[in-house]
């Protein structure tokens, strides 16, 4: 089992001290596609997966989800988080066993997902999430959150035309963050994202290999190339080292980023990136 750089009490101590200090934007990798972001005393969590719900769900099946990295933190202790975002309905991006304990700790916790997924998320979570629509940013304290489409493996819309898979662009404290969600590259993606000057992009690197049951994500080379093409100042890889059947080494990502002259940062689980 991979041990996070810091977890539990040590992780919480750093978050608490950072919230008290209120300097700049800070971002921690929670494992898989999960990130905690802080600015000016306000915290949001993007796609947090802090339980063993998939390990339990798929135990004794042909696709066991064996956890590779120990949990960074008990979600019940994340009282400082005011908003959770969800890029799509897969459990590693919308986990009742993560969001439920967070809501018990902070009953005011908001959940933001694509408008296409509000009904599903409401049933899974037992609370009413807010639906995010392309072109209509949502504001939470100092955070302004825009939805952008994702293709997992294709772009898909509901009957009202809302995207089933999204990424988000987060503007906060003079920093612009792009979290791609689970996605492949699609026509128009680069042009769309070039509307923003992106300081840090977080993208999956586990690839697209249906023969292993791994569907619909950029691989390391594609993640580095996308970051380069959208002009991201820094790229952080994610969506690996969580499940043994669905992971990738960041080596190819690192090699490609170096070839492209693309700045990158490989975080350990629980590690903080200050901006």
| Residue with smaller CB distance to Zn ion, 12 or 222 | 222
Name the 3-class secondary structure at 228.
helix
Selection from 7, 3, 18 nearest residue 273 by Cα: 18
The one segment of 59-67, 143-151, 163-171, 181-189 that binds Zn ion by CB under 5 A:
181-189
Closest to Zn ion by CB, 92 vs 271, is 92
Q: In angstroms, give the least distance from the CB of 151 to Zn ion.
A: 13
Q: Which residues, other chains included, contact 187 with Cβ-Cβ below 8 Å and sequence gap of 6+?
A: none
Q: Nearest distance from residue 155's CB to Zn ion, in Å?
A: 16
Minimum Å gap between C-beta 122 and Zn ion is: 21
What's the Cα-to-Cα distance from 266 to each of 7, 202, 252, rounded to whole Å? 17, 10, 12
Q: Does 92 bind Zn ion (CB under 5 A)?
A: yes
- Tokens 């997902």 belong to 113
Stretch that binds Zn ion, among 11-19, 34-42, 89-97, 220-228 (CB under 5 A): 89-97
Closest CB to Zn ion among 184 and 275? 184
Residues 214-253 that bind Zn ion (CB under 5 A): none
163 three-class SS: strand
Per CB under 5 A, the list member of 95, 182, 222, 271 interacting with Zn ion is 182
Q: How far apart are CA 79 and CA 69, in angstroms?
A: 23
Structure tokens at 30: 């929670």
* CA dist list (Å): 49 to 37, 227, 253, 264: 15, 24, 23, 23
For Zn ion, which stretch binds (CB under 5 A), given 14-22, 40-48, 179-187, 222-230? 179-187
Q: Which is nearer to Zn ion, 12 or 248 (CB)?
A: 248
Only segment of 22-30, 56-64, 91-99, 111-119 that touches Zn ion (CB under 5 A): 91-99
Q: Residue with CB nearest Zn ion?
A: 182
Nearest to residue 233, comparing CAs of 258, 256, 262, 195?
262
Residues 181, 204: Cα–Cα separation, whole Å: 8
Q: Which segment (54-62, 90-98, 160-168, 257-265) binds Zn ion by CB under 5 A?
A: 90-98
Can you give the binding site for Zn ion, defined by CB under 5 A?
Answer: 92, 182
């Amino acid at each position: 089992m991979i041990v996070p750089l810091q977890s539990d009490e040590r992780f919480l101590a750093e978050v608490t001290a950072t919230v008290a200090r209120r300097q700049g934007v800070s971002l921690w990798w929670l494992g898989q596609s999960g990130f905690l972001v802080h600015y000016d005393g306000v915290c949001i969590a993007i796609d947090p997966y802090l339980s063993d719900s998939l390990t339990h769900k798929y135990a004794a099946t042909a696709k066991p989800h064996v956890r590779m990295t120990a949990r960074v933190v008990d979600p019940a202790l994340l009282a400082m988080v005011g908003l959770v975002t969800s890029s799509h309905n897969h459990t590693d991006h919308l986990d009742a066993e993560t969001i439920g304990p967070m809501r018990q700790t902070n009953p005011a916790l908001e959940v933001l997902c694509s408008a296409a997924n509000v009904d599903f998320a409401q049933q899974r979570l037992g609370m009413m999430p807010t639906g995010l629509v392309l072109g209509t940013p949502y504001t939470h304290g100092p955070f302004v959150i825009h939805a952008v489409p994702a293709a997992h493996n294709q772009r898909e819309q509901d009957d009202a035309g809302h995207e089933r898979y999204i990424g988000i662009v987060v503007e906060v404290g003079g920093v612009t963050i792009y979290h791609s969600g689970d996605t492949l590259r699609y026509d128009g993606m680069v042009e769309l994202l070039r509307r923003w000057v992106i300081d840090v992009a977080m993208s999956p690197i586990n690839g697209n290999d249906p023969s292993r049951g791994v569907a619909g994500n950029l691989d390391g080379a594609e993640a580095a190339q996308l970051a380069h093409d959208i002009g991201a100042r820094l790229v952080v890889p994610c969506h690996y080292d969580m499940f043994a059947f669905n992971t990738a080494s960041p080596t190819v990502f690192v090699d490609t980023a170096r070839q492209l002259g693309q700045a990158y940062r490989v975080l350990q689980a629980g590690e903080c990136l200050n901006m």
